[in-house]
Structure 1
Amino acid sequence: MKITRSYFFCLVPALTLSATLCAQDIVIQASSNPLAGKTNSLQQAWLLARESRQSSPGKKITIVLHPGTYYLDSTLVLTPADNNTTWRSDGNGLVTISGGKKVLVKWTPWKNGIYKASLDVSFAFDQLYINDVQQVRARYPNYDSSASHYNGTAADAISSERVKTWQHPVGGYIHALHRAEWGGYHYRITGVNADGTLQLEGGYQNNRQMGMHDKYRFVENIFEELDAPREWYYNKDTKTLYYKPAAGVNLQTATVVVSRLPQLIVLKGNAAHPVSNVSFEGIRFAHSAPTFMDTREPLLRSDWAIYRGGAVLLDGTRDCSIRDCEFDHNGGNAVFVSNYNRHANISACHIHDAGGSGICFVGNPDAVRSPLFEYNQSPVFANTDTARGPKSPNYPDSCVAYNNLIYRTGRIEKQTAGVEISMAMEITVSHNTIYDLPRAGINVSEGTWGGHLITFNDVFNTVLETGDHGAFNSWGRDRWWYPDRHEMDSMATAYPWMVQQDAIKTNVLCNNRFRCDHGWDIDLDDGSSNYRIYNNVCLNGGLKLREGFHRIVENNIILNNSFHPHVWFENSHDVFRHNIVSSSYKPIGIKYWGDEIDYNLFPDKAAITTPTDAHSLAGDPLFMAPAAGDYRVKAGSPALQVGFENFPMDQFGVVSPSLKALAKKALLPVLHQEATNISSLITWRGAKVKNIETLGERSATGLPDNKGAYFVAVPAGFPYGLQTGDVLLQVGEKRVNNVTEMIKAFVFYGDKKVKLIVFRNQQRKNL
């Protein structure tokens, strides 16, 4: 027997709600059929669900949303009282849950093609949508879709000459890259000094403080810069919205939406009382507000700071899922899985044009033993908690990101990723297609606590606006890691077991395809440890292992590049075997060669330059169809003789037909043997010195740019206090940008005692 009860509420858009009680579950229908003169919000569907649950405890509830846009008046917060609930589209049209507010305005011409309208809202907004298309806040330089950084930057964006042309810049924003291009910064203008310089607040969005870049910067929300089509400006004092429409836009019929809420849906529980079995299916989430000024929480000793939230936030959940949803033009992160979560599943989602990251799995520092939060902080061993693994359950564990199409994230914030993992365990990232990003496609911020499976992903067109990074990037600045290399050498020798006290489980990268044209395809940086990397195709940027322990790299194909070992430890136990490389290795600062570096295939014998590859071979790998992206090798390939085994080439990326049809294709390389670089290496007073010429040298030394004289090898008793690995930046008052300038500076000063400035252990140091 079926009992039906109907409930009528006023909704925006006007909704008809009805609850049907069945033996199995309760279905709540939310219809967009208009009810004249009635208004409301989506929260009332939630209230009806709660009422139904009270009368029928233990039943599963399904809230069916019919086509339409549902504008939230406030963030919808679900608690354990909402367990066993599914929110889904009825499948008959687009369902949008919006964090914006639809406003009715009357446009009148102002001047220079600009229109204005009175708009009185009680909240600040940073994004404007006309006919559901995001517009451009008035900025300098003007928006340029083809520009490499921030869609347009200028060194004079905040020059005193330009500032003088602004009458009321307070409330404007500066967006700039980090000085070393390790992410970005954001500042709010709070005033103007007498000399025309700006008073600012902000700059905390990056965890490696070095100040903003002198070139890659732009300013927005300045009235005087409103001069291009699609630009807008809101004067909050006069309650006036100014907008310059593009050709063909009819403002009289256009819908106008402004951003309002930074978070649309929050699932809020904890380890003792999680939100469980709540799912969202077939829903579009849009118009959430930017969060760049709230991105201030540091992620241990990675380069990251975060805003712990997103359009959808899972915080304290179990067995919750987001399936077949679209995240479209949200101002911050799309999905954030925070603190305690078990078996969260984000799958078959279309995530694009987000201001922050796509999907984040981030635990709480209270689960970390002896956490440190800034790169230059050093652990004190006597005070360190040396127990193994996490100390609380407040982290994501056994969660999944599967079959998601993620692109054009990081539109505002630049220290972001398609998928970010930090303070988490056993996260599976599989069959995702990720591209067009300012930094990494997939990033693992530190070794706590590993066990991640990164498999069958297609990641390309990455590190487009930053530097010294990879399509896949990781750090390993865990409890054993010290910013001073000499101290780290001694501690790693004395306490080698500490390496796996945080990195307790092996991370596996297998059967992925990576391409990075501005860094490495796979970049294991700063102590990343306990990895197994196999069956991957690296299309362009090569594979790098810096510092770290217990990395097994085998059966990978590295096209148009090679293996980049940087500053390894003695007894690292690293392994590199059965791989196909396209040129000689690119070692930097290597004294020790791990457990086994052998049985690899090189393009020719001249490329085999290390003493370790005694059993490696050279020759044409005989790829089956490289122009079509099939890099399996034919029978008779010398790769097979060194133990290489073929693996599938047609399973990378998303599997849903609808997402496959939308996804871009990775650019396949034209294969070539890498030409030998003409090096600037010279011998000067017995030391080997050269210019900084490669991304690898810049990364190994930690430099923010290519300036300086790099001391590759320094003999015992060398004068001036210089050491192997130093980069000389200044002699007396003379800047040193290269080896030639170094020699000229020493000639200029002769035998005089002068101050030297070097870059050592990624810090400037006076000698």
Structure 2
Amino acid sequence: MMRKTPLLLIFISFFSAGLLAQEHKIYISPTGNDHQKGDMYHPLQSITAALERVKAPGQGRYDHGVTIILKDGTYYLDKAITIDNRAQGITIKAEHEGRATLSAGIPLQLTWELYRDGIWKAAIKQGITEIPSLYGNDSLLTLARYPNYQAGILPFGGYDKDALSSQKIKTWKDPGGAYLHALHSGRWGGMHFEITGKVTDTSVSMIGGWQNNRPSKPHPLFRYVENIKEELDVPGEWFFDKNESMLYYIPKQGENIHNIHFIAGHLESCLHLEGTGAQPLSNIHIEGIQFKHTVPTFMKTEEPLMRSDWKVYRQAAIYISHTQNVLIANNAFSMLGGNGIFVSYKNKNVVIKDNLLEKLGASAILFVGGPDAVYNPLYNYGDTVNSSLINRTPGPKNDNYPVDCIASGNLIHDIGLIEKQSAGVQIQIASRISVLHNSIYDVPRAGINIGDGAFGGHDIAYNDVFNTVLETSDHGAFNSWGRDRYWQANRAKMNALVAAEPGLILLDAYQVTKIHDNRFQCEHGWDIDLDDGSSNYNIYNNLCLSGGIKLREGFHRKVRNNILVNNSLHPHVWFKHSEDTVQNNVLMTAFSPIQVADFGDQVDNNVFITEKSLQKNQALGIDNHSVFAALRFKAPAELDYTITNIDAAKGKFSNIPMQQFGVTKTFLKNLALKPSTPLLISQEVEDKQKVIHWGKYQIKNITTLGEQSATGLADMNGVLIIKAPQQNGNYKTLQVNDVILKLDHEPVQNVEDLLMIERKHRWKGHHQFTVWRDQKEILVTN
């Protein structure tokens, strides 16, 4: 029988542990001295010195239970701090939350003189040969570029098809070291090129374009160039001439250049937590610190993440590898050139909680294992493995991946400022990752992305994810791919393969992933996008505000009890015997199927808010027991879609709690934005005379003979534009008095048709309109 430990001994044990922790506090300060005691009154100056100070004498190991306390101020790092697998139980925290900063930059010592045309210059005398990024008075400054940066213009804050034209190149003396940034030709993320020099007076040579795992030419329109001296022409721009070691800057209105504190980006990372496979780094806490000023790393983003669209660079402000029981809490990450936090390779029980991550060049939080943990790893979209060579062992090959980790309560916004193939939370080659109560918005692509089915078991819940896919298209607020070991792009071959051996589909995705109780909204895609074979998902209790739910090619997806505002399910290329079920959802439009002959196990018992949509679905042979109900929502203007006449749903839907989305920490809740309120199409179009606000336009049905006569129409079909943005002389954009007759080749008879068709096709990122103008039909792309 096990002996019981006396309560007094337990108390003494805890008390002694408290004394030990107290005895092992080490203070550091920007004004400290590494030769001092390291107590509160005699602090050290660097974290590195503090770590060295607590080595056990003669053993070369760090002591356990040490707390390193950062006094207020900024700590400029000459290299990234590394805590290796000799350290166990180390805590590094700010004495006052948010008032200690680890900077990867160098403060510049400058003497400015006026150069010309409002441009100032200062010699760099600190041995600095490169300035990848520049900050002035705690703001990121704009590197000289064409076209000039304009806030609110997407993508990139401005773009121009002539960014690399021969006429433009001719004006540049020496563009070597400049960069071309562009979207992928399909708008599937971005790509980046370094200009190595001029070939002729009107052409340049470049390297790069490897950042996307679906190769393409750079987009012909969505592109810009930067780091070119001749493009230094507006306030707020800067340029560093490395041949002269001279910094140039144009002050903004009201700025006194002599009062600006300039910091040059210097390091790629602030902190590395690194153990080994045999001996993980354990019990490390990082709390209350600001991380700033890492440099852009987009030219190093070239490691393919299996067959997803992604490539990554394993680096971040905090890089975590081969650890267990790590806590990253209550920190702030801002003005970073690359990723925020990267959990790489083998890690267990890493908790990333209640952090602010904003203004980042790439992704916020990544959990990415090693491809050696996967059986039959494949890297390119079109790669396949012969069916006889597919390893039939389910799950991982080894333990070189993150497992049982959590990203919870984080506020993430304005990320992917440089790299457009980025996400608020990225998961790939990982198992049982929980993504809970995060607020994620203003991102160029997905808010949350899962890159493959290896190895499932994730819990995606209570998140508020909106203003997503702002600069790209064909994606989701939540996006996943399932390009697992059995999958191949040739659907006929894949269909035959999985029909012969259904067990193949769950070899990698062997654990169920749950997506529930989230609020999602996507601009140019789907609110939930399960693409290319994503399998073994349970999707329930989600409020989808814009793009609906897409399911493509996969198996074992259960979609139940979700509200799809102004939208519906988008079934794409379903397999026979997929075992998919779609039940008990509130749907506002009919399905938009593509290449679907078999609708899974059960698509039924849903609630449609328009009878026409229900009838369209039933014509497909589905939803035979679903119902039409004129549902009333409690306060849709306040994003409360609680159904007040729930009995009308006839037991086919249960209300979803509406106050649970997003961050929970009071400080972050006060900072976090909320989604804009979508108009309810079914209600807005009831009044046929009503003027509808449609983005930057105002539109209405044609309802009078006067309107028909003024436009010269043969009938009253179509939608009249009565207000439009300033046209800037572009003939082929929508204009006042245009009548929209078709949208993406589908007939538009009225406003309801227009809004519904636009919802169905918004994933494309642009639309083609047939409009009636000047007594004839013309084509317009918006």
Q: TM-score, normalised by structure 1?
A: 0.85
1:496 aligns with 2:502: yes
On the 8 A contact 2:346/2:401 being kept in 1, the answer is yes
Matches within 5 A, 1:331-410: 331-410=337-416
Query: Cα gap change, 1:607/1:551 in structure 2, threshold over 3 Å: closer, same or farther?
Result: same
Alignment match, 1:75: 80
On the 8 A contact 1:404/1:433 being kept in 2, the answer is yes
Classify the secondary structure of the residue corresponding to 2:26. strand
Matches within 5 A, 1:213-252: 213-252=219-258
- The whole-number CA distance in structure 2 between the counterparts of 1:241 and 1:195 is 26
More deviation, 37-46/436-445: 37-46
Alignment match, 1:613: 623
Query: Cα gap change, 1:36/1:644 in structure 2, threshold over 3 Å: closer, same or farther?
Result: closer
Matches within 5 A, 1:20-35: 22=20, 26-33=24-31
Query: Cα gap change, 1:704/1:392 in structure 2, threshold over 3 Å: closer, same or farther?
Result: farther
Deviations 1:435-468 (A, max 9, x none): 0000000000010000000000000000000010
On the 8 A contact 1:441/1:472 being kept in 2, the answer is yes
Please state how far the C-alpha of 1:345 moved relative to its aligned partner: 0.5
Alignment match, 1:659: 668
Q: Pick the aligned partner of 2:461 from 435, 455, 466.
A: 455
AA of the residue aligned to 2:25: V
1:91 aligns with 2:96: yes
Please state how far the C-alpha of 1:76 moved relative to its aligned partner: 1.0
- The whole-number CA distance in structure 2 between the counterparts of 1:50 and 1:90 is 22
Please state how far the C-alpha of 1:194 moved relative to its aligned partner: 2.3
Please state how far the C-alpha of 1:340 moved relative to its aligned partner: 0.2
Q: Pick the aligned partner of 1:102 from 103, 107, 114.
A: 107
Classify the secondary structure of the residue corresponding to 1:321. strand
Classify the secondary structure of the residue corresponding to 2:477. strand
Query: Cα gap change, 1:188/1:656 in structure 2, threshold over 3 Å: closer, same or farther?
Result: same
- The whole-number CA distance in structure 1 between the counterparts of 2:129 and 2:577 is 58
Matches within 5 A, 1:440-451: 440-451=446-457
Please state how far the C-alpha of 1:670 moved relative to its aligned partner: 1.6
Alignment match, 1:124: 130
On the 8 A contact 1:25/1:62 being kept in 2, the answer is no
Alignment match, 1:560: 566
Deviations 1:91-119 (A, max 9, x none): 17610001111121111110111111111
Please state how far the C-alpha of 1:21 moved relative to its aligned partner: 8.2
- The whole-number CA distance in structure 2 between the counterparts of 1:664 and 1:465 is 19
AA of the residue aligned to 2:449: N
Q: Give unpaired runs (5+ residues) of structure 2.
A: 1-17, 37-43, 686-717, 719-740, 747-756, 770-776
Please state how far the C-alpha of 1:384 moved relative to its aligned partner: 2.1
- The whole-number CA distance in structure 2 between the counterparts of 1:681 and 1:241 is 53
Matches within 5 A, 1:357-756: 357-608=363-614, 609-610=616-617, 611-639=621-649, 641-673=650-682
On the 8 A contact 2:169/2:201 being kept in 1, the answer is no
List structure 1 runs of 4+ shifted beyond 4 angstroms.
33-41, 51-58, 674-682, 693-699, 703-708
AA of the residue aligned to 1:568: W
Please state how far the C-alpha of 1:31 moved relative to its aligned partner: 2.7
- The whole-number CA distance in structure 2 between the counterparts of 1:93 and 1:475 is 37
Classify the secondary structure of the residue corresponding to 1:637. helix
Classify the secondary structure of the residue corresponding to 1:654. coil
1:156 aligns with 2:162: yes
On the 8 A contact 2:54/2:63 being kept in 1, the answer is no
Please state how far the C-alpha of 1:678 moved relative to its aligned partner: 5.7
1:64 aligns with 2:62: no
More deviation, 271-280/57-66: 57-66
Q: Pick the aligned partner of 2:329 from 297, 308, 323.
A: 323
More deviation, 630-639/656-665: 630-639
Please state how far the C-alpha of 1:509 moved relative to its aligned partner: 0.4
Alignment match, 2:284: 278
Classify the secondary structure of the residue corresponding to 2:503. helix
Please state how far the C-alpha of 1:696 moved relative to its aligned partner: 5.9
- The whole-number CA distance in structure 1 between the counterparts of 2:423 and 2:58 is 39
Please state how far the C-alpha of 1:480 moved relative to its aligned partner: 1.5
More deviation, 218-227/375-384: 375-384
AA of the residue aligned to 1:616: S
- The whole-number CA distance in structure 1 between the counterparts of 2:644 and 2:30 is 59
- The whole-number CA distance in structure 1 between the counterparts of 2:639 and 2:45 is 53
Alignment match, 1:303: 309
On the 8 A contact 2:395/2:510 being kept in 1, the answer is yes
- The whole-number CA distance in structure 2 between the counterparts of 1:36 and 1:82 is 20
Please state how far the C-alpha of 1:216 moved relative to its aligned partner: 0.5
- The whole-number CA distance in structure 1 between the counterparts of 2:202 and 2:282 is 55
Query: Cα gap change, 1:40/1:566 in structure 2, threshold over 3 Å: closer, same or farther?
Result: same
Alignment match, 1:760: none
On the 8 A contact 2:588/2:608 being kept in 1, the answer is yes
Alignment match, 1:169: 175
- The whole-number CA distance in structure 2 between the counterparts of 1:36 and 1:593 is 69
Please state how far the C-alpha of 1:489 moved relative to its aligned partner: 1.1
Classify the secondary structure of the residue corresponding to 1:338. strand
Q: How many pairs does the alignment contain?
A: 678
- The whole-number CA distance in structure 1 between the counterparts of 2:289 and 2:437 is 21
- The whole-number CA distance in structure 2 between the counterparts of 1:82 and 1:190 is 44
Q: Give unpaired runs (5+ residues) of structure 1.
A: 1-19, 683-692, 709-737, 741-767
Please state how far the C-alpha of 1:517 moved relative to its aligned partner: 2.1
- The whole-number CA distance in structure 2 between the counterparts of 1:37 and 1:551 is 62
Query: Cα gap change, 1:554/1:224 in structure 2, threshold over 3 Å: closer, same or farther?
Result: same
Give the aligned CA root-mean-square deviation in angstroms.
2.6
AA of the residue aligned to 1:104: Q
- The whole-number CA distance in structure 1 between the counterparts of 2:765 and 2:442 is 23
AA of the residue aligned to 2:71: H
On the 8 A contact 1:456/1:653 being kept in 2, the answer is yes
Classify the secondary structure of the residue corresponding to 1:258. strand
Query: Cα gap change, 1:37/1:226 in structure 2, threshold over 3 Å: closer, same or farther?
Result: farther
On the 8 A contact 2:321/2:344 being kept in 1, the answer is yes
Please state how far the C-alpha of 1:632 moved relative to its aligned partner: 1.7
Q: TM-score, normalised by structure 2?
A: 0.83
Please state how far the C-alpha of 1:270 moved relative to its aligned partner: 2.3
Please state how far the C-alpha of 1:251 moved relative to its aligned partner: 2.3
On the 8 A contact 2:374/2:397 being kept in 1, the answer is yes
Query: Cα gap change, 1:605/1:678 in structure 2, threshold over 3 Å: closer, same or farther?
Result: farther
Please state how far the C-alpha of 1:43 moved relative to its aligned partner: 2.0
Please state how far the C-alpha of 1:58 moved relative to its aligned partner: 5.3
Alignment match, 2:8: none
On the 8 A contact 1:282/1:323 being kept in 2, the answer is yes
Classify the secondary structure of the residue corresponding to 1:308. coil
- The whole-number CA distance in structure 2 between the counterparts of 1:110 and 1:58 is 55
- The whole-number CA distance in structure 2 between the counterparts of 1:158 and 1:45 is 50
Please state how far the C-alpha of 1:645 moved relative to its aligned partner: 1.1
Query: Cα gap change, 1:55/1:196 in structure 2, threshold over 3 Å: closer, same or farther?
Result: closer
- The whole-number CA distance in structure 2 between the counterparts of 1:304 and 1:93 is 33
AA of the residue aligned to 1:577: Q
Of all paired residues, the percent bearing the same amino acid is 43
Classify the secondary structure of the residue corresponding to 2:507. helix
On the 8 A contact 1:449/1:503 being kept in 2, the answer is yes
On the 8 A contact 1:25/1:60 being kept in 2, the answer is no
- The whole-number CA distance in structure 2 between the counterparts of 1:705 and 1:249 is 39
